[in-house]
Amino acid sequence: MHCQQIIHFSEPLEARDYPTPEPKGTEVLMKIDACGVCHSDLHIWEGYFDLGNGQKMDLLTRMSLPFTLGHEVVGEVAALGPDAEGVEVGEKYIIFPWIGCGECSVCKRGDELLCTSPKTVGTRYNGGYADEVIAPHPRYLVPYGNVPTELACTYACSGLTAYSALKKLSHLHEDDWLLLIGAGGVGLSAVHIASQVVKAKIIVADIDAEKRAIARQSGAHETLDNSDPAAALAKLQEITGGGAAGSIDFVGAPVTGSLGFNGLRRGGHMVSVGLFGDSMPLSLAMMPLAMRTIQGSYVGSLEEMHELMELVRAGKVAPIPYEVRPLDAANSALEDLKAGKVKGRIVLSPHS
C-alpha cells in the first residue's frame, strides 16, 4: 500500500509504503481510484482546531501519527473479509466515511454521527491519500452509477455536508432568501444541490470575484462581496428586504458567522458548517427578540448520503468543478487549498 502520510503535524506529507492490509471480519479492502482534498484535511494536517480565545482542540487526543488523510474516497472492491457480504470484487463504490462504533446506543438506533467513539475514515482511521484503504463494512459502500469517479468522491464530504446543511433549511418558502457564505468546494456544492432541497432564492457571499461568478453561473440568484462586512450586511438587507430567512456559513470564521447571524430576519435560522475557527460575539438579546436559531451541521448521515446519491445518479445535481492531480502531489494540493487558490475540488488519483 502506497500512501502520503502526516509524519509530523504541519510538516510536508511523506510517501510511505506498507504491506496490503488484509480485511478481517466484515471489512472490505478497496483499491482507491480517487480521493478529494477537503478543507478539514488542512486542520487535521495542522493538528488542531482553533476554538477561539486561545483555546485549541488537540487532535492527538483522537488520532495517532503517522496518519493518512482523505475522507472523500472512491474505490474498487479488491478483497472481502470472511463476514463481508453484499458486494463483489471489482465493483466500484463511494466509501461513506462518517462511521460510528456500531455498538453504542446512538449507533444502534442509526444515529452514527452522534457516536462519541467514531471510526471515521480519513479523520480518525487511515484514509484515502493512498492506493488502498479498508472500509469497515459493506453497508458503508454507496453506488455512484455513471457519475465520473473523480467527481463521485466529492459527494462523500463536500456534497453530503452541503446536502445535510440545506436539509436543515428545507422549511424555507419560495419568497424567502437563503444566504450561503463561502463558495469553495462545499459552498459551491450547496449552490448546485439547493434547488433540489429548498425552495428559497439563493444569495451567495464570497470575497473572491471569480468564485462569485462561478456561483452565479451555477444558479445563485444573487451574489454578495463580503470583503467589507458592514457594506455586505447593508447590501444583504437591501437585496432581501430586511434579512435572510436562512443562512449557511460554510467558512466558520468570526466575520462570516457574524454576517450569517446578523443578516437573518425575524425567525431566521442559521446553520454553521465551516471549521475555520476562532469565536464570535453573539447578542444574546437578539436570540429571543428576533427568535433566531443557530444550528451546527457536521457532514451528514448514511441515509442522507443515499438520498443525495439518488439525486446525483438521476442527473439532478450539476457537477462542481474539479481538478485531478497525482496522489504524490498531495502536498501541493494542500498548499493550494490553504492559499485559497482552488476552484471547486482537487482530487488525488493514485493512477495519474
Q: How far is the CB of 306 from Zn ion (least distance, A)?
A: 18
Q: How far is the CB of 273 from Zn ion (least distance, A)?
A: 10
Element (DSSP H or E) covering residue 294: strand 293-296
Element (DSSP H or E) covering residue 107: helix 105-108
Q: How far is the CB of 283 from Zn ion (least distance, A)?
A: 31
Stretch of residues binding Zn ion (CB under 5 A), selected from 15-23, 103-111, 172-180, 302-310: 103-111
Q: How far is the CB of 103 from Zn ion (least distance, A)?
A: 6
Q: Pull the grid cell for residue 9.
A: 503535524
Q: How far is the CB of 203 from Zn ion (least distance, A)?
A: 24
Beta bridge partners of 265: none
Q: How far is the CB of 104 from Zn ion (least distance, A)?
A: 3
Residue selected from 59, 113, 147, 157 as contacting Zn ion according to rule CB under 5 A: 157
Q: Is 318 in the site for Zn ion (CB under 5 A)?
A: no
Helix (H, G, I), strand (E, B) or coil at 12: coil
Residue 259 contacts residue 181 (beta carbons within 8 Å): yes
Residue 202 contacts residue 220 (beta carbons within 8 Å): yes
Residue 347 contacts residue 153 (beta carbons within 8 Å): yes
Q: How far is the CB of 167 from Zn ion (least distance, A)?
A: 17
Residue selected from 40, 226, 247, 297 as contacting Zn ion according to rule CB under 5 A: 40
Q: Is 104 in the site for Zn ion (CB under 5 A)?
A: yes
Stretch of residues binding Zn ion (CB under 5 A), selected from 76-84, 149-157, 255-263, 278-286: 149-157
Distance CA 136, CA 148 (A): 24
Residue selected from 23, 75, 97, 100 as contacting Zn ion according to rule CB under 5 A: 100
Q: Which C-beta is closer to Zn ion: that of 243 or that of 274?
A: 274
Residue selected from 3, 59, 107, 141 as contacting Zn ion according to rule CB under 5 A: 107
Q: Which C-beta is closer to Zn ion: that of 80 or that of 333?
A: 333
Q: Pull the grid cell for residue 92.
A: 466500484
Q: Is 188 in the site for Zn ion (CB under 5 A)?
A: no
CA distances from 214 to 37, 67, 144, 219 (A): 20, 34, 25, 9
Q: Which C-beta is closer to Zn ion: that of 18 or that of 48?
A: 48
Read off the amino acid at residue 9.
F
Read off the amino acid at residue 112.
E
Beta bridge partners of 94: 74, 142
Distance CA 162, CA 152 (A): 14
Q: Which C-beta is closer to Zn ion: that of 101 or that of 324?
A: 101
Measure CA 197 to chain center: 17
Q: Which C-beta is closer to Zn ion: that of 20 or that of 117?
A: 117
Residue 101 contacts residue 119 (beta carbons within 8 Å): yes
Q: Is 282 in the site for Zn ion (CB under 5 A)?
A: no
Stretch of residues binding Zn ion (CB under 5 A), selected from 155-163, 164-172, 211-219, 324-332: 155-163
Residues contacting Zn ion: total by CB under 5 A: 8
Distance CA 250, CA 130 (A): 27
Cα R_g (the chain), whole angstroms:
20
Residue selected from 3, 38, 178, 333 as contacting Zn ion according to rule CB under 5 A: 38
- Using CB under 5 A as the criterion, which residues of the chain lie in contact with Zn ion when the complex forms? 38, 40, 100-101, 104, 107, 115, 157
